[in-house]
């Protein structure tokens, strides 16, 4: 599967560039056994000329044929290399950034390669119900491993303490697994799916 890089892609997003685009497919809740509930998911990773990917995932409960039954959930967030931010980065809030990217070349990005040969990354993902996750992890080629450093919950949110996520590109399809610690239980299988990349409109 060839990856076409946008001309305005900031250099530090090249390691994450295989995620760019729109993905759709089906998954299963829990351990993915024969009696597990099924869902359909629509995922997009987009970029806006800034040093992060914007992530959105919409999910619907589905029947055994993949027909949507009702909305399940939505999550959104931002994925980036894990590095110290500086004056070339936007924020906090709407504070403008310098007009050049913080990392201007592939050689500068290479300085952030970790001992395992990949790159450290961070992802912030927000859910309905007053929950936000801050993940740290790594990307090495078409494989991503993430673990929560922090789960923020509102005072009336459901109990949820930690999570891990795995992503991988296999024969052009996006495979993922999400394990969750919630309701007094340790990490256990929460959901998994196989998504196909949709043609670019």
Residue 5 lies in a domain: no
Position 34 scores a pLDDT of: 79
Position 98 scores a pLDDT of: 85
Residue 155 lies in a domain: yes
Position 200 scores a pLDDT of: 80
pTM over the 0.95 mark? no
Residue 4 lies in a domain: no
CATH number of the domain to which 104 belongs: 2.40.128.20
The low-confidence residues of the chain, meaning pLDDT below 50, are none
Residue 51 lies in a domain: yes
Residue 35 lies in a domain: yes
Domain residues for the domain of 109 are 11-197
Residue 2 lies in a domain: no
The number of domains in the chain is 1
Q: Give the residue carrying structure tokens 């801050």.
A: 134
Residue 3 lies in a domain: no
Residue 84 lies in a domain: yes
Position 35 scores a pLDDT of: 84
Q: Distance (Å, rounded) from C-alpha 148 to C-alpha 61? A: 25
Q: Distance (Å, rounded) from C-alpha 197 to C-alpha 168? A: 13
Position 78 scores a pLDDT of: 98
Q: Give the residue carrying structure tokens 């949709």.
A: 198
């Amino acid at each position: 599967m060839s990856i076409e890089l946008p001309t305005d892609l900031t250099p530090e997003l090249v390691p994450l560039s295989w995620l760019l685009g729109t993905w759709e497919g089906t998954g299963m809740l829990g351990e993915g056994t024969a009696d597990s509930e099924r869902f359909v998911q629509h995922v997009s990773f987009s970029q806006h000329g800034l040093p992060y990917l914007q992530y959105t995932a919409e999910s619907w409960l589905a029947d055994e044929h993949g027909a949507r039954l009702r909305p399940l959930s939505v999550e959104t967030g931002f994925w980036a290399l894990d590095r110290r931010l500086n004056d070339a980065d936007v924020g906090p809030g709407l504070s403008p950034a310098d007009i050049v990217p913080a990392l201007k070349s592939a050689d500068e990005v290479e300085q952030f390669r970790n001992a395992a040969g990949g790159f450290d990354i961070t992802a912030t993902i927000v859910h309905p119900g007053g929950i936000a996750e801050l993940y740290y992890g790594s990307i090495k080629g078409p494989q991503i491993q993430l673990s929560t450093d922090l789960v923020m919950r509102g005072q009336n949110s459901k109990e949820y303490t930690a999570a891990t996520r795995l992503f991988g590109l296999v024969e052009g399809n996006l495979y993922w697994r999400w394990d969750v610690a919630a309701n007094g239980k340790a990490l256990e299988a929460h959901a998994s799916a196989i998504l196909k990349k949709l043609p670019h409109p």
